[in-house]
Amino acid sequence: MKQFPNRVVLDETHTPKSWYNMFADMPFEEGEDAFMLHPGTMQPAKPEDLYPVFAEELCRQEFTRERHIEIPKEVRDYYLSYRPSPMYRAYALEKLLDTPAHIYFKYEGQNTSGSHKLNSAIAQAYYNKKQGVKRLTTETGAGQWGTALSMACAHFGLELEVFMVKISAQQKPYRKAIIETFGADITLSPSNTTNAGRGVLENDPDNPGSLGTAISEAVERAVTSENTRYTLGSVLNQVVIHQSVIGLEAKEQLGMYDVYPDIIIGCAGGGSNFAGLMSAFMGDRLTGKAKPYFIAVEPAACPSMTRGRYAYDFCDTARVTPLAKMYTLGCGFMPSTIHAGGLRYHGMSPTLSKLYHDGFIDEARGAFQSEIFKAATIFTRAEGILPAPESAHAISAAIDEANKCKETGVAKNILFGLSGHGNFDLGAYMQYMEGNTHDYAPTDNELEKGFASLIKTNS
């Protein structure tokens, strides 16, 4: 076996030319393919039902069982400005932990948006541009998706309106600034420019906003404006497909050194990052070629996989979107804003949810803030990379697994996804250093209130 360098960066000729769609290899039971229900009829949704909302090719990708989807030249050209992303061996962290484990991480933070979100943003912008769409809408909370999409729209010459949660814009003025530097328009949500926003403001003029309301406003704007479509940065299978580029590269990078991961760890909010990292390895598992152990890490504050239910639920709180079959806390669940960073979504990608439900994802864990910032600080000092709080969930679990290896003496290969950098999250790091980080998990009563918002369906 060749010595693994600190960092492996593939030559561009090795970047994937196609995305991989896990749907192609996932076992579906008869009639189990209805991932989405039309919110009006409660009947299985078809690609055409989504045409007013998303670009047509993206609607097609939402349902297709095609195994490989060619990455368009325009998208791949842009990928090559920041991809292939580097694969690191965390030698310094291993030494610090005194573990026999080999720890690898795939780093998606080396682009201005700071995270993996750009992988799908550039694809979604491209397909909309190709269809002749002039203007996109979206929402953003933590800001990674809004930044990524503003980059993509600047590149393809598309207009963009970002509905930014009002309280987030106040807490993260720099995120707002970078999105505006890329030329996008920001509307603070709730706004008085949509029915959804006005409805909220009538009841509560000082409402600080929520991701749910922002989604409702962005969707409403898209379907009521000419030549305008909506985009979403996670949850959907189209996004999972685009993010497969992470895992395809990761498998090739490790393969060059005859390394195959025993354990694969990712943080999971909407699920797109972990789904992307696992893709090629999960393909091996679905087809019986290998059996790595998959661990999803979510915030204890928003525990959709660890404490949620597998059910059809709305993707937003205002109940205007299709229903998706997923692990969910109920669209009425209000995630605590105590928890820093993203990963505050009531549901989980239907693709990831099914893989978990069917036992292909082995384990889901909840992590507290104090744990993840402790892990982030250890990692930063050892490896010299400041992780996003989201990514720190994965680091925390990777350290736990490496410590187990120390106890057992077994030298496992641990791969985790470092989905983004924390350069825009230093306010949260400051709170941690000042001792103002609070751990939180919803009570059973709070969860029950969320579950009460789940509607009855036939499934």
Residue numbers 112-131 binding a second copy by CB under 8 A: 112, 114
Residue 165 in contact with residue 140, Cβ under 8 Å?
Answer: yes
Give me Rg for the CA atoms of the chain: 21
Residue numbers 59-78 binding a second copy by CB under 8 A: 77-78
- Cβ at position 169, least distance to a second copy in Å: 12
- Cβ at position 174, least distance to a second copy in Å: 4
Three-state secondary structure call for residue 214: helix
Out of 225, 427, 439, 446, the residue judged to bind a second copy by CB under 8 A = 427
256 binds a second copy (CB under 8 A): no
Please, where are the H alpha helices in 47-117? Answer: 56-63, 73-79, 91-97
Alpha carbon distance 168, 159 (integer Å) = 22
Residue numbers 309-338 binding a second copy by CB under 8 A: none
Nearer to a second copy, 103 or 295 (CB): 103
Instruction: Draw the binding track, 189-208, toward a second copy (x: CB under 8 A; -: no contact).
Output: --------------------
Binding segment (CB under 8 A) for a second copy, from list 229-237, 313-321, 376-384, 391-399: 376-384
Alpha carbon distance 344, 142 (integer Å) = 9
224 binds a second copy (CB under 8 A): no
Three-state secondary structure call for residue 375: helix
Q: Give the C-alpha distances (Å, rounded to integers) separating 204 from 189, 199, 289, 299.
A: 13, 9, 55, 29
287 CA to centre of own chain: 25
Closest CA to 387 of 169, 108, 89: 108
Closest CA to 269 of 239, 291, 242, 249: 239
171 binds a second copy (CB under 8 A): no
How many residues bind a second copy (CB under 8 A)? The answer is 44
- Cβ at position 348, least distance to a second copy in Å: 30
Nearer to a second copy, 28 or 174 (CB): 174
Which residues contact a second copy by CB under 8 A? Answer: 5-7, 9, 11-12, 77-78, 80-82, 88, 92, 110-112, 114, 151, 154-155, 173-174, 177-178, 180-183, 377, 380-386, 421, 423-424, 426-427, 429-430, 433
